[in-house]
Structure 1
Amino acid sequence: MKIVEELEGSGGLASIARMTEAIAALETRRTELIQELRSQRLASWEEIGQACGMTRQGASRRWSRQAHATSFGAAAAAYRRGRPPYPESAVDWLIPGTAKSVLDLGAGTGKLTQLLVARELAVTAVEPLAEMRSELVAAAPAADVRDGSAEAIPLENKAVDAVVVAQAWHWFDAAKALPEIARVLTPGGTLGLVWNVRDHSVAWVAELDRVLHRHTRQEIDTRPSIGTPFREVERLDVRWEHALTRDELLDLVASRSYVITMPGKDRDELMHQVSELLDSHLDLRGRKKLTMPYVTRCTRARLAS
């Protein structure tokens, strides 16, 4: 009550402003604490809900997306080892031939950043998680790596000719991210979104997904709508294959956000089931090298001039 009295002071609009600022700061800190508890598997959603005066479902709905988005820091090295690159034909389509500067937004460990740097573009890579940025700097030292987010991009107005988002758009608040992306793009610049999606038409990949989805299912819209001020929205699918080892496939599974945030016992059981699949499936057992089929789904839109 003493804190409330201090914030209230003599009342009026100034008091409301002080209270609003204090509430926002407390909510930010509460979110950080919840993310720490979930990333370290120290509390369940039911326990967090009770502490917040909410149901388990209410707490999960409110904070699970943020917890998943920030969970990758705990598995940054596994993410780098296990995640696939992107096919050159997709990058050709996403980046206009006239572009000289590009922003890789939500760049992660630099899987796409490396391909952009190799094209001798002026590349800025923005990534909010420190652990991911460490991997990113090592992978793409020629890029200008910055701390930031899609909702608050650390660039000047009209700074780049193209913005690309690889495997990250579903973590953004699109209502805030689109105006920010438009701000940093030159007139007529392009926004490109890309996801690598496992090709479930292959039998062993379908079985792998069945194992993963026993525990949880993460639905991602890989053909999102892109609103104003963007126009001329186009789509492209690229089918290709990525060679990887058994250990790299296990890293691929371990780097999924929903796997990182699982309780330790459930996560260990899932990894055991994936290992059993690798040992027993007719298309996989005894093989040191595997081939993962992918469909890379791309969306491209142009900023109105």
Structure 2
Amino acid sequence: MISTRQPLLYATRALSAYRHQLRRALSTQPLKVHPTSLSAFNIVHASYDKFRPTYFKPAVDALVRNLDLPENAEVVDLASGTGKFTALLKDYGFNLSAVEVSDGMLATFRERLPDIPAYKGSSYDIPVADKSLDALFVAQAFHWFADMTSLHEFHRVLKPTAGKLALIWNFEPEIEINNKWQWEVAQACWAFDLDLPQFRRMNWQDVFQTEEARELFDLPLKNGKMYWSYKIAPEDVFGLWATKSYIVRLDEAEKEKLKAKVDLILKEYASDLVDENGLLEQRLGVYYAWTSNK
């Protein structure tokens, strides 16, 4: 239900976003959004929304609980994509809005979640006022912009001392926890991922090891990890992987060749693992981390 204060709140946010974007437009500072992430997610926003999973609710609960946010906290979901994670944040009673740089993702977001304000922006250009946010969430995205310019922008928009930065990712589980078919599919697809930022490489953490970062945030990061699973149709397995940026950029012949390889893996390792509904168990890890602004 939309409260009587929400229309005024949304109008205030929209005005703040407009003023910030106007200041940025008059600035000579260039945006540094990763070109592969931007082009890939503009292309696959609809299939991203269809095939990408949600997030494990107990992990989201744990992350939110650790943030200890005030009632009606002012919260932004940055790099919100199509709203997979934003939809879960609706349950916590936040004054919630979203920021996303991809026009395609924004279009799908606004179709899915028309009641949540969504603005165009990036980790280098968050269209909110200084020191205005109780929390900034980033789901499945921080590895794309793990640099000091982003951390300075986060520091700008978060309230001093009380503002929280929260990061979360779904990830492909370790081999000893994973399904055989799932691990083999991952290896086949990762062969095309040679040079792009990824969570699993964990080098996104490097920026938090710097003295400059320690001046902005309470470090080291606190973190947690859980494992979960969901059901997926065998015919959707390649559809899921085809939303990965390093698969999106392949030409059609390469995609068809990879799809054939994935289909062979499923036939060899998963044909006898489907349940009574014809679905497979897809295992995932979820990693979450948080810190406080200084």
TM-score range relative to shorter protein? 0.7 to 0.9
In 1, Cα distance between the equivalents of 2:146 and 2:268? Answer: 42
**Who is 1:196 aligned against?**
170
In 1, Cα distance between the equivalents of 2:289 and 2:240? Answer: 24
What's the RMSD between the two structures over aligned residues?
Answer: 2.5
Report the AA paired with residue 47 of structure 2: A
| 2:87 equivalent to 1:87 | no
- Decide which of 85, 95, 98 is 2:69's aligned counterpart: 98
Closer/same/farther in 2, CA of residues 70 and 173 from structure 1, 3 Å limit: farther
- Decide which of 4, 26, 42 is 1:73's aligned counterpart: 42
Cα shift readout 1:173-220 (whole Å, capped 9, x = no counterpart): 521111111111112211011111111332222111122134334543
Question: 1:142: how far off?
Answer: 2.3
Equivalent positions of 1:46-57 (< 5 A) are none
In 2, Cα distance between the equivalents of 1:173 and 1:81? Answer: 27
Cα shift readout 1:209-255 (whole Å, capped 9, x = no counterpart): 12213433454344614223111420111111122223432221110
| 2:192 equivalent to 1:215 | yes
In 2, Cα distance between the equivalents of 1:119 and 1:275? Answer: 40
Q: Which stretch has the larger CA shift, 146-155 or 241-250?
A: 241-250
**Who is 2:259 aligned against?**
271
| 2:231 equivalent to 1:243 | yes
TM-score by length of 2: 0.76
In 2, Cα distance between the equivalents of 1:301 and 1:97? Answer: 11
**Who is 2:222 aligned against?**
234
Equivalent positions of 1:1-305 (< 5 A) are 65-95=34-64, 96-99=67-70, 100-172=73-145, 174-187=147-160, 188-199=162-173, 200-201=175-176, 202=178, 203-217=180-194, 219-220=198-199, 221-222=201-202, 224-225=205-206, 226=208, 227-228=213-214, 229-232=216-219, 233-282=221-270, 288-304=278-294
The alignment partner of 2:131 has SS state of coil
Question: 1:104: how far off?
Answer: 0.6
Percent identical: 25
Question: 1:264: how far off?
Answer: 1.8
Q: Is the 8 A contact 2:233 2:279 kept in 1?
A: yes
Structure 1, gaps ≥5 residues long: 1-23, 32-62
Closer/same/farther in 2, CA of residues 283 and 191 from structure 1, 3 Å limit: farther
Question: 1:70: how far off?
Answer: 2.8
Cα shift readout 1:15-59 (whole Å, capped 9, x = no counterpart): xxxxxxxxx99x99xx9xxxxxxxxxxxxxxxxxxxxxxxxxxxx
TM-score by length of 1: 0.74
Q: Is the 8 A contact 2:181 2:266 kept in 1?
A: no
In 2, Cα distance between the equivalents of 1:265 and 1:135? Answer: 28
The alignment partner of 2:137 has SS state of strand
In 1, Cα distance between the equivalents of 2:290 and 2:272? Answer: 36
Report the AA paired with residue 42 of structure 2: G
Structure 2, gaps ≥5 residues long: 1-27
In 2, Cα distance between the equivalents of 1:284 and 1:126? Answer: 43
Cα shift readout 1:118-142 (whole Å, capped 9, x = no counterpart): 2221111100111101111122222
